[in-house]
Structure 1
Amino acid sequence: MLGGRILHGGDYNPDQWLDHPEIFEEDVALMKKANVNCVSLGIFAWASLEPEEGVYQFDWMDRIITRLETEGIQVILATPSGAMPHWLTQKYPEVMQVQADGRRNLPGKRHNFCYTSPVMREKITAIDRELAKRFGKRSNVILWHISNELGGNFADSVCHCEHCQAAFRIWLKKKYGTLENLNRAWWNYFWSHTYTDWEQIHSPVPNGETTSTALVLDWRRFATEQMNDFYQLEARTVKEYSDLPATANFMYFFKGMDYNRLKEGVDIISWDNYPYWHKQKDEVPMAVKAAVNHSLMRSLLKAPFLLMESSPSSISWREANPLKRPGMHMLSSMQAVAHGSDSVLYFQWRKGRGGFEKFHGAVLDHRNGSDTRVFREVTELGERLSGLGELIDHTVNRPKAAIIFDWDNWWAVEDTQGPRLDFNYVKTILKHYRVFWENGIEADLVDMNDSLEGYSLVAAPLNYMYKEGYPEHVRKFVENGGIFVNTCFSGMVDDTDLCFTGQSPLEDVLGIIQEEIDAPSEEFENQFTYGGSVYPAQYLCEIVHAKENTEVLAVYEKDFYAGSPVVTRNSFGKGEAYYLAAESSLDFLRAFYQDLFRKAALENALQTKLPYGVTVTERVGDNGKRVVFVMNFKNEPVCVEGIGKWTDAETKEVYEGTLEMKPFQCMILI
């Protein structure tokens, strides 16, 4: 935990108000009033820090950092590469990205720079070094915030310039060694696409090659590597004059960048969370989406993370942007802490007067100062967080269950042609994760390279790709007593999207032989019976055969493959592997996982059945300290029964047997 307390505050942009010094004085006073103890500075301040090439104006930031230090407010200091000043793009237009159609971007927006550009790297290194020299050892500067939301929007933030093409070819040479190896791995015999010269290779573009799925997959990997290399450059530079940790703020299920690759150089994981609360009256689907992303961020390093951005009220970029209803700001913020965050930080402290995000939610509105509902709710949260630092210090969530979520698999399965063209990997992950959430059973999200040691149940939905070494991880996990779940359209291809021939690499573990895959329309929907109830078999219906000792738990009941297995169980070593041959409903997954939770001895911290809309998480310390968060995402009171005996960590009230919860309430029990 940075500074020994839960960080509360967020993005602060005093560079927008340098000609209004009275604004800064008001900000400091209101930060103290709102229990703000940390701000992020300089995220988009390049033009104010370096108004012309090589001319640095840091005095204004020095004054602000100094004043914040006297007020006990810590600083997360950003490097300014997220948005370039116009002097840079005017003098060096080559720093701007080239789109897939070959056009170079014009100045403006964010994330408009080429990650490979030597000029961009030279200029950002120069200012980063000066920032580190001036502020890297200030006592209240606690963390480096490298750039901002690396990658931005994948379609808009991947450069196709000649520098990037050359770097891509070098990357491919390093990976494959020879063109013969590359042609074999990419299956370039198809359509006579065999390369005979490295210079023939170009990034996938609309007016060129897009049908080579292996090319598209490797281009995505290369794009991650370039962004990661740019991050590493900035991090190394600021650490020349500073021993502070560094982070890069991640985003919600961001497809454009493999966070499992970037995590290797990030000291602390942080991310920006903007759920669509109140999109519908049932808040559970949105609560699940937020929870799964918190779980993903925590799982990357198996450590506490930082909620770097959130909104204390509304946002501004969706078609409809509802205000947070009373109680939701407290609950959604505590949800982050419950899942492992050591901070609640906002974008932003004060709304700007103009520009694209002038109506994006902030602690301070354009008018009324502290006399607003939002300010009062932020103040209430800040007060609550100030009392929780010691309670959660040196604790983190330690689930016994995991779900495989892998970027390579995501890219590959959604780019494949057939048996469907509408695969949605994230939607599939959410569907499975929701069952865990509803039962208050926490799950890490891990990729195929991660160890499975320590888990008792691992689910791998839509596990289309088996990466090198992954089958061995799974085999060892099941042999040692683990429960493994695979679903239809799993184990189809290797790392380069080449289909496996012969038997599946996990055929012995799963105990099934895959034959055909039906992708039926709604009028051909099938069904099966499991646990006495009938469930649909839809979207994908895989025809598999059970091996000799594999137990068939359910079969198709219609069409020419009636009687073929839908749900199977195979004992392997000390453990068991399950295969779900068809997509089905959420109700089926609820029934199926309930059986597995019992087998794996998994239960929530309260050891009771939870009402709909209520979930539970638990942060655990190395000394065995347990801190249990109970959250009600219904806008109405609920009663949780059969809880045993617990003490409220904040009020010290003792609850036994039942727990009465208010609408949108989070309670902390010890």
Structure 2
Amino acid sequence: MNKRFPPISPKLPVMMHGADYNPDQWQHDPKVLEEDIRLMKLAGCNVMSVGIFAWAALEPEEGVFAFEWLDRLLDSFAKNGIYAWLATPSGARPAWMSAKYPEVLRVEANRVRNLHGMRHNHCYSSPVYREKTAILNAKLAERYANHPAVVGWHISNEFGGDCHCDYCQAEFRKWLQAKYVTLDALNSAWWAAFWAHTYTDWAQIESPAPHGESMVHAHNLDWRRFVTDRTVDFCRHEIEAVRGAGPELPATTNMHMIEGLDYRRFADILDVVSWDSYPTWHEAEDDSQLAAYVSFYHDLFRSLKKKPFLLMESTPSLTNWQSVSKLKRPGMHKLSSLQAVAHGSDSVQYFQWRKSRGSSEKFHGAVVDHVGHEHTRVFADVAELGRTLAGLTEVVGTPTPAETAILFDWDNRWAVKDAQGPRNMGLGYERTVYAHHRALWEHGVPTDVIGSEDDFSGYKLIVAPMLYLCREETGRKLERFVEAGGTLVSTYWSGVVDENDLCHLGGFPGPLRRTLGIWAEEIEGLYDHDRNGVRLAGGDELGLEGTYEAHELCELIHAESAEVLGVYTDDFYAGRPALTRNRLGRGQAYYMATRLKDDFLGAFYRKVAGTAGVRRALEADLPVGVTAQIRTDGDSDYVFVMNFSGEARSVPLDGRPYVDLESSEAAGDRIELPAGGVRVLKRSSK
């Protein structure tokens, strides 16, 4: 039973391989542009993102448009079998616009308007900015929507940031009125009686400010939600402007782990999700922890639409903006690129194709260096990957069969960081989520990263670390999930506040109390030098025993209907529950009352994944630093085995017949992976 998604573009039904391309920077030298076509073909690159910051080249004066250079480029692409993601250039406006219409420039939280410069320095509420983007986008669509080289729309670039101008203040008040209807409802949700913050007129409300209001947590949370909605609305505005002439072309916008935006809100308006990944490889001798971190984000962006995504930007060599610009070691380019494919990407694309000659990114990595030819180590790495990707066409469109999910909500993330306690030196929310995900990644467990509004029914195991902000509805959904036979893992600092950041009354973990079968009475933040321990007696179906170190956060809980699996070893709460399991309906829910380290998480999730019956990519013991990920069409499985350990590893397979997709040779009972090695194996799904 073949289950795969159609290719992102029928024009290019293969793995996309390419880069951000800035020919507007090289119009003075046509020979460079001619040479680029030759080099693209030599590197096995078939798609370029074009025009991302080209507004000044496309509209050098207000109302004066210059498309001839882009005509020549796209026509040349079409003649040479190269395609383009055509960008809308709203990421940076031209100087003439800032000079004539200063209202398009952002106002910061201190209420000071920015000068012209940088990028993402524009107001999404400005009527003038919206008008100008709509005009240019419509002209691009009219001219190029049916061009044979264009495969889709690249909307703007790495949306982010907020604006506090009068337009945005007015829109914020409209947003609040639509949400709360009455000031009484807003004052109640914001707990406005605290510090005499009660509002008596909508006009009194302003966005959070460093020299004004910043301590009302529901206010801060609503501002972040509003900024997301305003940004999504602007992105929608851009998409609508290009849809008229080319409704069949897919639209995407490249995301970049920006904390300020809830990317799930973009999923409904985008045809395909894309993101930009820039890990600091080789910070440590063993790259596995960093690889697990990157995998979390690959899983997150894949999960936004539950289908293949695009790696829109990565570096073929180094960056120039990280604290240390380290070169990729031999093998890392292929390994890190195929890591994205393993987790669901149908592309590997770079910033950038050719290094800029000047300005802030002139030393950022590129396929073509300043030397200008193909005789470089980096170009050879890119060309090698191009050959590999050309052989992975049958993987295109295949989904990831995840039966495990991690619950990760942006508003929970924001609320945790704004909580003011119990450990203001660092609650480590993201670090905690990464650690739980990493334990699953190490065992080769395919994992989605979902939100509380997503459908839980397709999963066998859901992990919800630090679900501090837990709506009543989320609590009911998780309860139904467990009753229906699912396994839930939750932790300390969960079920504390509702969607308005108001504390649940009647005992924590609030809406999760019946599901978890515990009452959390107190939570203690520990200093970095403090330690406690958790002793497990074994004898239960997990079979874990011994003592594990606890640190940073310890919750004092009471087991109500839950069974105690482990207790604290130290301090005045020695002997009290630290790890519990509650059976409910046909399922079970585990609760970790304290922060435990990787040794425990690894052992715990190995057992829990087994008892929950979740699928692993390889049913074999993977060496330290090696992981396996899977994509499948229902007939064939594609298993990516990747070695991030920094050392050669021998990896046992699971007794099923495998064929190496690159060499077409049988894989045998085990495979040998050099440091930085990766193999793509094919097997029958039956």
Do the structures match in fold with TM over 0.5?
yes
Q: What is the TM-score when the length of structure 1 is the normalising length?
A: 0.97
Distance 1:363 1:523 in 2: 46
- Residue 327 of structure 2: aligned partner: 323
- Please report how far the alpha carbon of residue 473 of structure 1 lies from its aligned counterpart in structure 2 after TM superposition: 1.3
Say which SS state the counterpart of residue 656 (structure 1) adopts.
coil
Question: Once the two structures are superposed, what CA deviation does each residue of 1:416-463 show, in whole Å capped at 9, x if it has no partner?
Answer: 111121222211111111101111111100011111111111100011
- Are 1:427 and 2:426 an aligned pair? no
CA contact (8 A) 2:190 2:500 kept: yes
1:557-568 aligned at under 5 Å gives the runs: 557-568=569-580
> Quick one: structure 1 residues 512 and 354, their matched pair in 2 at CA, closer, same or farther if it must change by over 3 Å?
same
Unaligned stretches of 5+ residues in structure 2: 1-6, 537-543
2:94 to 82, 85, 96: 85
- Residue 578 of structure 1: aligned partner: 590
2:381 to 362, 377, 385: 377
- Residue 626 of structure 1: aligned partner: 637
Distance 1:624 1:573 in 2: 34
- Please report how far the alpha carbon of residue 662 of structure 1 lies from its aligned counterpart in structure 2 after TM superposition: 2.0
- Are 1:593 and 2:605 an aligned pair? yes
Between stretches 168-177 and 627-636, larger displacement belongs to 627-636
Between stretches 528-537 and 96-105, larger displacement belongs to 528-537
AA paired with 1:396?
P
- Residue 3 of structure 2: aligned partner: none
CA contact (8 A) 1:482 1:576 kept: yes
CA contact (8 A) 1:188 1:194 kept: yes
Say which SS state the counterpart of residue 462 (structure 2) adopts.
strand
CA contact (8 A) 1:77 1:143 kept: yes
AA paired with 1:630?
V
- Please report how far the alpha carbon of residue 285 of structure 1 lies from its aligned counterpart in structure 2 after TM superposition: 1.2
CA contact (8 A) 1:81 1:124 kept: yes
- Are 1:604 and 2:604 an aligned pair? no
- Are 1:656 and 2:668 an aligned pair? yes
- Please report how far the alpha carbon of residue 468 of structure 1 lies from its aligned counterpart in structure 2 after TM superposition: 4.5
Distance 2:581 2:403 in 1: 21
1:262-661 aligned at under 5 Å gives the runs: 262-389=266-393, 391-421=394-424, 422-503=426-507, 504-522=510-528, 524-530=530-536, 531-547=544-560, 549-621=561-633, 623-644=634-655, 645-661=657-673
Distance 1:396 1:355 in 2: 40
Question: Once the two structures are superposed, what CA deviation does each residue of 1:547-574 show, in whole Å capped at 9, x if it has no partner?
Answer: 1x42100111222222211000000010
- Residue 540 of structure 2: aligned partner: none
Say which SS state the counterpart of residue 516 (structure 1) adopts.
strand
Say which SS state the counterpart of residue 61 (structure 1) adopts.
helix
Distance 1:581 1:149 in 2: 38
1:72 to 81, 102, 110: 81
AA paired with 1:399?
A
2:255 to 243, 246, 250: 250
Distance 2:53 2:100 in 1: 20
Distance 1:457 1:83 in 2: 44
> Quick one: structure 1 residues 363 and 474, their matched pair in 2 at CA, closer, same or farther if it must change by over 3 Å?
same
CA contact (8 A) 1:98 1:160 kept: yes
Distance 1:160 1:523 in 2: 42
- Please report how far the alpha carbon of residue 643 of structure 1 lies from its aligned counterpart in structure 2 after TM superposition: 2.9
Question: Once the two structures are superposed, what CA deviation does each residue of 1:495-542 show, in whole Å capped at 9, x if it has no partner?
Answer: 010000014212111000111111122454221112332112221111
- Please report how far the alpha carbon of residue 329 of structure 1 lies from its aligned counterpart in structure 2 after TM superposition: 0.4
AA paired with 2:251?
A
> Quick one: structure 1 residues 586 and 383, their matched pair in 2 at CA, closer, same or farther if it must change by over 3 Å?
same
CA contact (8 A) 2:423 2:526 kept: no
Distance 2:439 2:415 in 1: 25
Unaligned stretches of 5+ residues in structure 1: 152-156
Say which SS state the counterpart of residue 192 (structure 2) adopts.
coil
- Residue 170 of structure 1: aligned partner: 174
Say which SS state the counterpart of residue 659 (structure 1) adopts.
strand
Distance 1:558 1:310 in 2: 47
Provide the aligned length of Structure 1 versus Structure 2. 661
- Please report how far the alpha carbon of residue 84 of structure 1 lies from its aligned counterpart in structure 2 after TM superposition: 0.7
CA contact (8 A) 1:8 1:343 kept: yes
Question: Once the two structures are superposed, what CA deviation does each residue of 1:188-242 show, in whole Å capped at 9, x if it has no partner?
Answer: 0111110001011111010000010110000000000110000000001100111
Question: Once the two structures are superposed, what CA deviation does each residue of 1:340-371 show, in whole Å capped at 9, x if it has no partner?
Answer: 00000110000010010000000000015101
CA contact (8 A) 2:446 2:615 kept: no
AA paired with 1:608?
A
Question: Once the two structures are superposed, what CA deviation does each residue of 1:81-120 show, in whole Å capped at 9, x if it has no partner?
Answer: 0001000000001100001111100000000000111110
Say which SS state the counterpart of residue 18 (structure 2) adopts.
strand
- Please report how far the alpha carbon of residue 467 of structure 1 lies from its aligned counterpart in structure 2 after TM superposition: 2.5
Question: Once the two structures are superposed, what CA deviation does each residue of 1:368-401 show, in whole Å capped at 9, x if it has no partner?
Answer: 5101000111011111111111x21331112110
AA paired with 1:556?
Y
AA paired with 2:585?
G
AA paired with 1:529?
R
1:194 to 187, 194, 198: 198
- Please report how far the alpha carbon of residue 77 of structure 1 lies from its aligned counterpart in structure 2 after TM superposition: 0.2
- Please report how far the alpha carbon of residue 655 of structure 1 lies from its aligned counterpart in structure 2 after TM superposition: 2.2
- Please report how far the alpha carbon of residue 603 of structure 1 lies from its aligned counterpart in structure 2 after TM superposition: 4.7
Q: What is the TM-score when the length of structure 2 is the normalising length?
A: 0.95
Say which SS state the counterpart of residue 36 (structure 2) adopts.
helix
Say which SS state the counterpart of residue 355 (structure 2) adopts.
coil
- Please report how far the alpha carbon of residue 187 of structure 1 lies from its aligned counterpart in structure 2 after TM superposition: 0.4
> Quick one: structure 1 residues 17 and 523, their matched pair in 2 at CA, closer, same or farther if it must change by over 3 Å?
closer
Point out 4+ residue stretches in structure 1 off by more than 6 angstroms. Answer: none
Say which SS state the counterpart of residue 148 (structure 2) adopts.
coil
AA paired with 2:102?
P
Distance 2:506 2:573 in 1: 22
Distance 1:17 1:521 in 2: 55
- Please report how far the alpha carbon of residue 651 of structure 1 lies from its aligned counterpart in structure 2 after TM superposition: 1.1
AA paired with 2:638?
V
Say which SS state the counterpart of residue 267 (structure 2) adopts.
helix
Q: Give the root-mean-square deviation of aligned CA atoms.
A: 1.1
Say which SS state the counterpart of residue 396 (structure 1) adopts.
coil
Q: Percent identity?
A: 49
CA contact (8 A) 1:439 1:603 kept: no
Distance 1:468 1:502 in 2: 13
Between stretches 591-600 and 330-339, larger displacement belongs to 591-600
> Quick one: structure 1 residues 168 and 426, their matched pair in 2 at CA, closer, same or farther if it must change by over 3 Å?
same
Question: Once the two structures are superposed, what CA deviation does each residue of 1:274-329 show, in whole Å capped at 9, x if it has no partner?
Answer: 01101111101110111111100100100000000010000000121101011100
Say which SS state the counterpart of residue 145 (structure 1) adopts.
strand
- Please report how far the alpha carbon of residue 624 of structure 1 lies from its aligned counterpart in structure 2 after TM superposition: 2.9
> Quick one: structure 1 residues 396 and 14, their matched pair in 2 at CA, closer, same or farther if it must change by over 3 Å?
same
- Are 1:205 and 2:216 an aligned pair? no
CA contact (8 A) 1:406 1:448 kept: yes
AA paired with 1:78?
A
CA contact (8 A) 2:105 2:123 kept: yes
AA paired with 1:102?
R
1:113-132 aligned at under 5 Å gives the runs: 113-132=122-141
Distance 1:488 1:634 in 2: 31
Distance 1:522 1:255 in 2: 26
Distance 1:101 1:88 in 2: 23
